[in-house]
Amino acid sequence: MKQRIGFFDSGVGGLSLLPAVQNSLPHEDIIYIADHGFFPYGEKSKEAMLNRAKLLTEALIEQQCKLIVVACNTVTTQVIDILREQYNLPFIGIEPAIKPAALKTKTGVVGVLATKGTLKSERYHQSSLHHTTGIRIVEQIGEGLVNIVEENAVEDEATLALLSKLVMPMVSENIDTLVLGCTHYPFLTPSLKKVLPESVEILDNSNAVAQQIEKVLKKEELLSLDKSAGETQYFTTGDTLSWKNITFTPLPL
């Protein structure tokens, strides 16, 4: 069996990363686990997230994964360092694009839309402090947004109203850059553009993640030598799921 790149997230959020990864690494096989059996991650304790992340990591290793992407900002900020200590393969984490936002902002005010779990984490605060000297960060918990994406209700009128309620106070604080600090949130970008002024740039980290995966695979000499098109398989730890045009196969965990 060809070695694979493994992804896991609480649900469909990490799928927002795949187009950039598939474009950069078209010959790599990918396995994606949507952990609906443990959804959502945002309110779980660190201990609970670590135990679940270890279970998913071991499932992906059994599927011949050579590198694992922790496709969730909350799990990355809470437990990825422990995973790296305990398992002998590379892990790629997902963190809010604070550094590029700090470099781009003209007003000196950056908005961060993220889950409660990410915003309260020590790793997030250290990253923010490191990259934002002279920059003001305006944070907002994206209450309800993960469920909206899971339900594929991103274009509903109620969603537009909620997004406006969440981001307009940040706009009033003079943000010109909005960081999407959850992998679910890029699916909301078209709707966010409807409620935000054109002057506000929306940033996610999918291209940066793809570049980092390619860099690590090259460094570790793990790039696929097979030049056929890579295949992607989708699994859920919940019930059989169809989301948009993707069918997920149940994976009991």
Residues in the chain: 253
Task: List residues bridging with 140 in a β-sheet.
Answer: 113
126 with 177, same domain? yes
Q: Poorest-confidence range of 81-85, 193-197, 248-252?
A: 248-252
82 with 141, same domain? no
58 with 129, same domain? no
52 with 121, same domain? no
Per-residue model confidence as pLDDT tens digits over 181-228: 999 999 999 999 999 999 999 999 899 999 999 999 999 999 998 889
Helix-strand-coil percent breakdown of the chain, rounded to 5?
A: 45, 20, 35
58 with 155, same domain? no
Q: Judge whether residue 161 has pLDDT over 70.
A: yes
88 with 210, same domain? yes
Per-residue model confidence as pLDDT tens digits over 239-249: 877 788 899 99
Q: Which of 30, 69, 72, 146 is catalytic?
A: 72
> Looking at the 3D structure of the chain, how many domains does it have?
2
178 with 155, same domain? yes
Per-residue model confidence as pLDDT tens digits over 163-174: 999 999 999 999
88 with 213, same domain? yes
**Domain residue limits at 110:** 98-203
Task: List residues bridging with 177 in a β-sheet.
Answer: 110, 201
Query: What pLDDT was estimated at residue 89?
Result: 97
Average of per-residue pLDDT across 25-34: 97
211 with 163, same domain? no
Asked whether the bond before 40 is cis by omega within 30 degrees of 0, the reply is yes
142 with 228, same domain? no
176 with 194, same domain? yes
Q: Judge whether residue 151 has pLDDT over 90.
A: yes
Query: What pLDDT was estimated at residue 78?
Result: 86
Q: Is 65 part of the annotated catalytic residue set?
A: no
Q: Which of 56, 148, 182, 195 is catalytic?
A: 182
CATH assignment of the domain containing 69:
3.40.50.1860
108 with 33, same domain? no
